Structure 1
Amino acid sequence: MNEYQSILTGLIELSKLTDQIKTGIIIGSRSRTQHPADEYSDIDIIMLVDDIEHFIKSDEWLDSLGKYHISFSENTIANGKERRVVFDNALDADFLFLKANDIDKIEKDKDFKEIIARSYCILFDKIGFDDVLRRIALSPEQYFLLSESEFVNIVNDFWFHSIWAAKKVLRGELWVAKNCVDNYMKNILLQMIELFTHAVNGSSYDTWHCGRFIEQWAEPWIVKEFPNIFAGYSANDIFRALSKSMDLFRKLSVKTAEKLNYIYPNEADMYAANFLESVKKFR
């Protein structure tokens, strides 16, 4: 935390000078003991404020924290806005601004609850928000297994897009095809990895979010396949990665269906697999 201390000190001093800022909370790796921060970690700070747009559009408050070189904004959890900044020495800081008068909505936000339940550290608090944080920390969100109909739907979604991506390759739309295979379909694959892992280990097993630390929580035989399932920018390699992704997805989804006693949509699987083999053969 020492490298960020001047930024944190400046933020605390800024909060003393204005009533606009109500609460500051450090989240993420800089606040936790499991998978703690390393030399490459950024710092994430949730700030409850009166006027979000002021902190998104104004640079004056940012100037008071130190010399910065890059800054942009984006939407974030609980209908808030985030200002992402790179300071001197490539120190990157994410400031998540939430409306101080929306505490009830913030407390109910799924993403906010998941973040706080994992870890947090109060930097300053003028409005007693600590009570809300403690309530959330005492009742962490549980993973809910997909229903059978939800499972069947994402399996069909995957097989549908395997055909869709293959057609894009055949049309020479490699950018679109690669994006489908390595982005859209990988997100479905990640859902299946999470579902399989929870089916095997229970709902309380920690699969983090967005693939974080997947190399550590997923089974080794799954991780072993990761180098094979991403594509280079060529038709042949996209087909190769698509085929390998299909193999891994099939193995996972069949095992998951068996574990949960769900119906597996075998017809969709076979049709997509046969289509891919046919177009690869006659290219």
Structure 2
Amino acid sequence: MRSEQEMMNLLISFAKNDNRIRLVTLEGSRANKNIPRDTFQDYDISYFVTDMDSFKKDDEWLNVFGKRLIMQKPEDMELFPPELGNWFSYLMLFKDRNRIDLKLIPIDEVEEYFINSDGLVEVLLDKDGPVKSEVVANDRKYWIKKPTAREFDDCCNEFWWVSTYVVKGLARKEILFAIDHLNEIVRPNLLRMMSWQIGLERGFTFSVGKNYKFIDQYLPKDDWETLLTTYSESSYTNMWEAIFTCYELFRKYSISVAENLGYKYPDYDEAITKYTQNIYQSLNE
């Protein structure tokens, strides 16, 4: 497997030797000093270019980066509509397991790029000096944020409201419907509430990672292990246990957050819990 230094040298040297490329930036986890390095990290690279069409007319120029196992061009797909406007991207996995996510951006969109950046940007090459101020990569945008009273109640409301869809799916024997609502909405709001409690305990000056992937480092061991049990969803029995466990964890953490911030804890917790218990019991009589 090519080393990080080999990959960076290759990406920068290619840009140096191509007059169409005027600026190169690194984004994502490799620009974040707080993320541990590993071999699965993408090289999130942006080339700011003077002639987009000359690159897009064929893919031969990409061969310089190595033998590809697979490539996706999101802006050249019919099933999934493009989302990057005038930008064009190549997502590549190579035979040696390195991954490059390469974006082409029109050079006249440099200012817009930095205005809309999430902060995790490092300038690797600047041929013309369009970057007026020093760019220092940081992940501040992803730090846990202290919730307002409205945000706290919105999280509670979304958790308890959507949990009724999980219950409905289980009662109807529509397990995929129930699983989707648990995975996509209910549990993410539980994780959000847990992260707020972590912020209250440790300060709102860091991130728990994309998809809460580092949250296990901050949760009590028992709560982490209990949370993991909610991912067992292969039967109706497991799903009922998962939703009730989510209720217990959410109640524990949301009550703590409310008490710490002086917010009102919603009464619909009790109402929805009874509603769920009644439906569960009726199905098992």
TM-score range, shorter chain: 0.7 to 0.9
In structure 1, the partner of 2:118 is 113
Offset at residue 241 of structure 1 (A): 0.9
2:49 corresponds to 1:44: no
Counterpart in 1 of 2:281? Answer: 281
Displacement, 1:216? 1.7
CA deviation after TM superposition for structure 1 residue 102, in Å: 2.4
Q: Distance in 1 between matches of 2:95 and 2:190?
A: 38
Residues 221, 60 of structure 1: alpha-carbon distance in 2 compared, 3 angstrom cutoff = same
Instruction: State the Cα distance separating 1:15 from its structure 2 match.
Output: 1.6
User: Structure 1 residues 27, 51: CA separation in 2 closer, same or farther (over 3 Å shift)?
Assistant: same
Offset at residue 137 of structure 1 (A):
4.3
Residue 273 of structure 1: how far off its partner (Å): 0.7
TM-score, normalising length: structure 1: 0.82
Report the more deviating stretch, 226-235 or 68-77.
68-77
Report how many residues are paired. Answer: 275
* 1:132-281 equivalences in 2 (<5 Å): 132-134=133-135, 137=137, 140-141=140-141, 143-266=144-267, 268-281=268-281
Higher helix share: 1
SS in 1 for 2:3: helix
Whichever residue aligns with residue 108 of structure 1, its letter is: I
What's the CA shift for 1:140? 4.3
The 3 A distance-change label for structure 1 pair 168 and 196 is: same
Matched residue of 2:208: which SS?
coil
How far apart, CA to CA, are the structure 2 residues paired with 1:77 and 1:52? 14
| Mapping for residues 18-33 of structure 1, pairs under 5 Å | 18-33=18-33
The CA distance in 2 between the partners of 1:218 and 1:54, in whole Å, is 51
CA RMSD in angstroms, aligned pairs only: 3.0
> 1:272, CA displacement in angstroms?
1.3
Partner-residue secondary structure (3-state), 1:224: helix
In structure 2, the CA distance between the partners of 1:52 and 1:158, relative to structure 1 (3 Å rule), is farther
Kindly provide the CA deviation profile for residues 107-138 of structure 1, in whole angstroms up to 9, marking residues without a partner as x.
Answer: 232xx33423xxx4x4322233555452x548
Q: Which moved more, 1:210-219 or 1:51-60?
A: 51-60
**1:33-68 alpha-carbon deviations (Å, 9 max, x no partner):** 433312333322233334667656741231221111
1:21-43 per-residue CA deviation (whole Å, 9 max, x = no partner) reads 22223344444543331233332
Note if 1:62 corresponds to 2:35.
no
Is the Cα contact below 8 Å between 1:68 and 1:87 reproduced in 2?
A: yes
What is the alpha-carbon distance in structure 1 between the residues aligned to residue 57 and residue 264 of structure 2? 52
Partner SS state of residue 90, structure 1: coil
Equivalent residue letter for 1:160: W
User: Does structure 2 conserve the Cα–Cα contact (< 8 Å) formed by 1:43 and 1:93?
Assistant: yes
2:128 paired with 1:94: no
The change in CA–CA distance for 1:207 and 1:228 in structure 2 (over 3 A counts) is same
Range moving further from structure 2, 250-259 or 39-48: 39-48
Gaps of 5+ in 2: 75-81
Secondary structure of the equivalent of 2:201?
helix
Preserved CA contact (<8 Å) 1:143 1:203: yes
What letter matches 2:59 in structure 1? D
1:178 and 1:233 in contact (8 A); partners too: no
* C-alpha distance in 2 between matches for 1:256 and 1:164: 25
For residues 42 and 69 of structure 2, the distance between their equivalents in structure 1, rounded to whole angstroms, comes to: 15
